[in-house]
């Protein structure tokens, strides 16, 4: 059945928006497309919580200001220490010429910073000024390493300066302690270097006697060996033998290669290989005779084939062939003898060179062993003598340098009492409190919005549930007014009776009209005859919406039937002020026909209501087949049948009702209904292949989403009309 647009049906109120048909009737296993949250949504969240954010920021700033004014001021004084890496650490010797290594400057200065913070430097200062580093009076605590929490040692970048800073509530004490720590560091560096030099001198004096005896012993051994060796220069003799051995090794290697080559030729010739004999050194005559032999054999074959065996030419050719054959064999035998002689000569030469190499190597090893011994003794004697002389020189230098106190570490700028405190920094604290409180407030607002798993706006529904919002109804129930029963007069503009007429009535009435148009105009291929209104859980406002939607449709001169299908908790009869003594439950058990159970509310001539009737468990079990018959018959008599169903989660009746109607809408309370519950409802309806048109958001207000900004214009837009009327 196609939808015919008559003049009566086209009399529709203006609507703020129209939504495309829903796409929920897709396979249940299809995942919704993941869409990102627009940036404008975050700006709306901040705008929504702007007063809370401002209140939190102001409170944090005020608290910070109060705390900052009550904190005891702390003063800081800084002493500057200059470390001259170019200054020598000694007067004589290598220490007098030693300069800094630029590559290890960072490591060196880091070491000095640790030394300033060490117990040896800080303990004298702590004892002098009575600084308490540990509140425990036990003896063990007094022996613990000293550490000053108020001390800070730093190094400015790209400098050789150390800044020793100390903080205290007494400005003069801060300057005195900083200067004392710098002076203690200088004294500690000098004492450390002096003790190291004295310890080194003492150690070297103990070792010098042993080193003198060892030097004399190694020198005597070298003189005795020179007498036994009886050579002037053992190194030159060793060089001559080394060159001779290298030459003999080269000749021996060449002889081995020549012997191998000739042995291969001899083996080939001895085995009777004609080709081997031809490729030998003496193979040229044999090759020529072989060619002549081949020519004689060819000649003999031609003669024998042409003249026969008794012809004189045959005998002549045979004699020539025999002669060539004899010369060939003789030459081959001679070649074999020459190859054998050459092979024997190469073997003899190889043996002679091998004996010469072995003899020369024995002489070289014998002389080289003695030379190594000589070199070892000479190096040992020279080393002992040099070490002894070096040690004597070091002892003298250490004695002189130990008493030298250089100026490589010096106090460049002593600390002075500070005029202004460094803590608390009032301006910095206020700025930090402002920044961090603002960040925390913004993060809390965004986090609360992200953790909110309720239904709020159409964009969120489309993004998370892959469905459409076909209508949004503004909040009406507040401290000033509440929804009342549906009007029972013929005035189409007074659909909602309120405690008093205000802007909420106008906005709610306009939203109901918009919802009706969105439902009826969502599908032009077929005309909608029956509509099921349900929700995920009780208290969503589905019965109120169904009642006002039916009344609005009836005021358009459309025959409308409203069926209260909530047999457990009926409420439609309360909205119209009618009796519920009999209704759908009586129809389902067969006590009364459905037409006799209809009630006609006053003021709505085109609206019929079928109440739920008295509660009956048997009627709930028969709702599937019985309700389907009622809908089929009513579809031929009414333009639209609206069925108010119980909540879908936890009840069986709505499942059967959803399969019997043409379309289903799900009512949710904006800001309260859980998305997972709505998702479960939509999944169940999809599994039943019900035609889900979309979701209705109930009780929305301006602060709930940036999509509802237009609700603030309804009252202003309709107020002049109300005054005029």
Here the tokens at position 700 are 């929305």
Tell the CATH superfamily of the 452-724 domain: P-loop containing nucleotide triphosphate hydrolases (3.40.50.300)
pLDDT in tens, 215-225: 777 777 777 77
- The span from the CA of 125 to the CA of 142, in Å, is 14
Here the tokens at position 578 are 């009618």
- The span from the CA of 349 to the CA of 261, in Å, is 14
- 660 or 462, which is more confident: 660
pLDDT in the model for residue 717:
54
pLDDT in the model for residue 316:
79
138-147, 247-256, 314-323, 477-486: which range is least confident on average?
477-486
Closest CA relative to residue 82, chosen from 409, 534, 491: 409
Helix (H) / strand (E) containing 494: none
47-61, 325-339, 468-482: which range is least confident on average?
468-482
pLDDT in the model for residue 493:
36
CB 189 within 8 A of CB 376: no
Here the tokens at position 497 are 């009776």
- 606 or 287, which is more confident: 606
pLDDT in tens, 453-467: 777 767 777 777 878
pLDDT in the model for residue 404:
57
Which one of 119-133, 141-155, 294-308, 434-448 scores highest in mean pLDDT?
434-448
- The span from the CA of 436 to the CA of 56, in Å, is 11
Which residues are CB-contacts of 108 (< 8 A; sequence separation ≥ 6)? 85, 100
CB 111 within 8 A of CB 194: no
pLDDT in the model for residue 562:
92
- The span from the CA of 86 to the CA of 101, in Å, is 9
Q: What is the mean pLDDT of residues 645-650?
A: 84
pLDDT in the model for residue 438:
92
For residue 119, is pLDDT > 70? yes
277 falls in which pLDDT band (50, 70, 90)?
low
Helix (H) / strand (E) containing 388: helix 312-401
435 falls in which pLDDT band (50, 70, 90)?
very high
Closest CA relative to residue 603, chosen from 495, 485, 487: 487
Closest CA relative to residue 229, chosen from 361, 372, 362, 374: 374
- The span from the CA of 172 to the CA of 43, in Å, is 53
- 375 or 186, which is more confident: 186
331 falls in which pLDDT band (50, 70, 90)?
confident
pLDDT in the model for residue 177:
92
For residue 302, is pLDDT > 50? yes
pLDDT in the model for residue 721:
47
- 548 or 280, which is more confident: 548
- 472 or 696, which is more confident: 696
Neighbours of 328 (CB within 10 A): 19
- 273 or 108, which is more confident: 108
Which one of 307-311, 475-479, 520-524 scores highest in mean pLDDT?
307-311
Residue with tokens 């949004």: 472
DSSP conformational letter for 423:
B
432 falls in which pLDDT band (50, 70, 90)?
very high
- 146 or 81, which is more confident: 81
For residue 374, is pLDDT > 80? no
Q: What is the mean pLDDT of residues 323-350?
A: 77
pLDDT in the model for residue 276:
53
571 falls in which pLDDT band (50, 70, 90)?
confident
Q: What is the Cα 237 distance to its own chain's centre?
A: 72
pLDDT in the model for residue 243:
78
CB 410 within 8 A of CB 81: yes
- 60 or 263, which is more confident: 60
pLDDT in the model for residue 99:
54
pLDDT in the model for residue 491:
40
- 368 or 74, which is more confident: 74
pLDDT in tens, 347-360: 888 888 888 888 77
Here the tokens at position 440 are 């925390």
Q: What is the mean pLDDT of residues 3-27?
A: 36
Average pLDDT, the chain: 75
Q: What is the mean pLDDT of residues 674-687?
A: 87
For residue 516, is pLDDT > 80? yes
Q: What is the mean pLDDT of residues 241-255?
A: 80
- 690 or 452, which is more confident: 690
For residue 79, is pLDDT > 90? yes
- The span from the CA of 159 to the CA of 22, in Å, is 72
443-447, 480-484, 562-566: which range is least confident on average?
480-484
pLDDT in the model for residue 45:
79
pLDDT in the model for residue 496:
46
29-43, 56-70, 193-207, 386-400: which range is least confident on average?
29-43
Q: What is the mean pLDDT of residues 357-376?
A: 72
Q: What is the mean pLDDT of residues 238-252?
A: 77
For residue 660, is pLDDT > 80? yes
């Amino acid at each position: 059945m196609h939808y015919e647009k008559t003049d009566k049906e086209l009399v529709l109120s203006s609507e703020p928006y129209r939504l495309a048909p829903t796409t929920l009737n897709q396979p249940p296993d299809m995942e919704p497309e993941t869409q990102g949250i627009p940036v404008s949504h975050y700006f709306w969240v901040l705008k929504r919580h702007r007063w809370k954010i401002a209140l939190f920021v102001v409170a944090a700033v005020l608290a910070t200001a109060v705390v900052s004014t009550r904190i005891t001021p702390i003063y800081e004084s800084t002493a500057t220490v200059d470390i001259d890496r170019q200054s020598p650490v000694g007067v004589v010797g290598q220490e007098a010429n030693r300069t800094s290594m630029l590559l290890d400057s960072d490591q060196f200065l880091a070491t000095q910073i640790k030394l300033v913070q060490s117990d040896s430097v800080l303990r004298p200062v702590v004892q002098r000024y009575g600084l308490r580093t540990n509140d425990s009076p036990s003896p063990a605590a007094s022996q613990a390493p000293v550490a000053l929490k108020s001390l800070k040692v730093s190094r400015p970048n790209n400098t050789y300066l150390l800044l020793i800073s100390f903080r205290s509530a007494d400005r003069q004490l801060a300057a005195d302690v900083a200067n004392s720590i710098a002076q203690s560091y200088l004294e500690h560096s000098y004492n450390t270097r002096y003790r190291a030099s004295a310890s080194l001198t003492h150690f070297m004096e103990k070792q010098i006697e042993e080193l003198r005896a060892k030097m004399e012993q190694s020198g005597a051994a070298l003189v005795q060996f020179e007498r036994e060796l009886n050579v002037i220069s053992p190194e030159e003799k060793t060089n001559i033998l080394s060159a001779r051995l290298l030459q003999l090794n080269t000749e021996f290697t060449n002889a081995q290669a020549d012997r191998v080559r000739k042995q291969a030729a001899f083996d080939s010739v001895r085995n009777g290989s004609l080709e081997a004999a031809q490729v030998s050194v003496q193979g040229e005559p044999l090759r020529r005779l072989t060619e002549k032999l081949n020519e004689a054999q060819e000649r003999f074959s031609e003669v024998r084939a042409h003249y026969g065996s008794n012809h004189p030419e045959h005998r002549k050719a045979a004699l020539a062939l025999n002669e060539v054959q004899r010369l060939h064999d003789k030459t081959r035998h001679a070649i074999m003898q020459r190859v054998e002689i050459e092979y024997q000569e190469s073997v003899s030469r190889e043996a002679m060179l091998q004996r010469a190499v072995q003899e020369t190597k024995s002489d070289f090893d014998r002389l080289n062993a003695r030379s190594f011994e000589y070199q070892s003794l000479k190096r040992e004697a020279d080393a002992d003598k040099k070490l002894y002389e070096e040690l004597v020189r070091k002892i003298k230098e250490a004695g002189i340098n130990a008493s030298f106190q250089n100026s490589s570490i010096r106090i460049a700028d002593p600390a002075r009492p500070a005029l202004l405190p460094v803590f608390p920094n009032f301006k910095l604290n206020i700025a930090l409190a402002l920044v961090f409180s603002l960040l925390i407030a913004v993060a809390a607002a965004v986090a609360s919005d992200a953790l909110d798993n309720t239904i709020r706006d159409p964009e969120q529904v489309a993004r998370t549930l892959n469905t459409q919002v076909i209508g949004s109804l503004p909040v009406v129930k507040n401290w000033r007014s509440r929804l009342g029963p549906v009007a029972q007069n013929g005035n189409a503009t007074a659909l909602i009776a309120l405690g008093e007429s205000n802007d909420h009535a106008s906005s709610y009435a306009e939203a109901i009209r918009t919802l009706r148009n969105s439902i009826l105009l969502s599908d032009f291929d077929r005309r909608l005859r029956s509509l099921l209104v349900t929700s995920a859980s009780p208290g969503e406002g589905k019965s109120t919406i169904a009642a006002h939607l039916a009344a609005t449709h009836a005021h358009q001169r459309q025959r409308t039937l409203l069926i209260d299908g909530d047999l457990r908790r009926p409420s439609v009869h309360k909205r119209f002020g009618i009796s519920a003594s009999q209704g759908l439950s009586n129809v389902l058990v067969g006590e009364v026909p459905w037409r006799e159970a209809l009630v006609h509310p006053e003021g709505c001539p085109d609206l019929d209501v079928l109440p739920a009737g008295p509660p009956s468990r048997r009627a709930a079990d028969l709702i599937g087949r019985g309700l389907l018959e009622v809908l089929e018959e009513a579809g031929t008599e009414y333009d639209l049948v609206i069925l108010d169903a119980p909540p879908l989660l936890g009840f069986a009746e709505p499942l059967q009702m959803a399969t019997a109607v043409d379309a289903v809408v799900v009512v949710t309370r904006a800001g309260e209904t859980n998305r997972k519950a709505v998702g479960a409802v939509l999944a169940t309806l999809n599994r039943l292949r019900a035609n889900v048109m979309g979701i209705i958001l109930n009780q929305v207000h301006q602060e709930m989403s940036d999509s509802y900004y237009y609700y603030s214009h309804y009252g202003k837009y309709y107020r002049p009309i109300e005054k005029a009327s």
